[in-house]
Amino acid sequence: MPSVGTEFYGRVKSVQQLPIVTSFWMFNYIPILPRESWYCRKIKSEFAGVPLIASTERFEVDGIPLAKLDAASVVISYLRALGAVGLIISVLWSVMFVVMYLNPSPAAVQPDGFVYAVFSIGAIGTAVGGITYVIPLCSRRERRIRQVCHEVLGWAIDPAVVTKPMSQRLLAFINELSQASGRIDSTQELMQMLVVTRCRIAQGQDRNDNEARTTQILEELSSIAIRT
What is the reported pLDDT for 88? 79
pLDDT of the residue at 67: 97
| Per-residue model confidence (pLDDT) at position 109 | 52
> 207-227 and 140-153 helices cross at what angle (nearest 10)?
80
Residue 104: predicted pLDDT: 65
Strands 54-65 and 30-50, sheet pairing: antiparallel
* Measured distance CA(105)–CA(30) in Å, rounded: 37
For 4, the 3-state DSSP assignment is strand
CA contacts within 13 A on the Cβ side of 190: 18
Strand order in the sheet with 30-50: 4-15, 18-27, 30-50, 54-65
pLDDT along the chain (228 residues), means of 10: 79 95 90 95 74 64 95 94 80 73 60 66 76 88 97 96 96 90 82 97 96 96 79
Q: Are 74 and 22 in contact (CB under 8 A)?
A: yes
Q: Which pLDDT score, from 0 to 100, does residue 114 have?
A: 63
- What pLDDT does 4 receive? 74
pLDDT in tens, 96-129: 777 776 776 655 555 556 666 767 777 777 787 7
Q: Secondary structure of 170-208 in the HEC alphabet?
A: HHHHHHHHHHHHCCCCHHHHHHHHHHHHHHHHHCCCCHH
Supply φ then ψ for residue 8, to 5 degrees.
Answer: -105, 135
Tell me the pTM: 0.82
Q: How far apart are CA 141 and CA 154, in angstroms?
A: 19
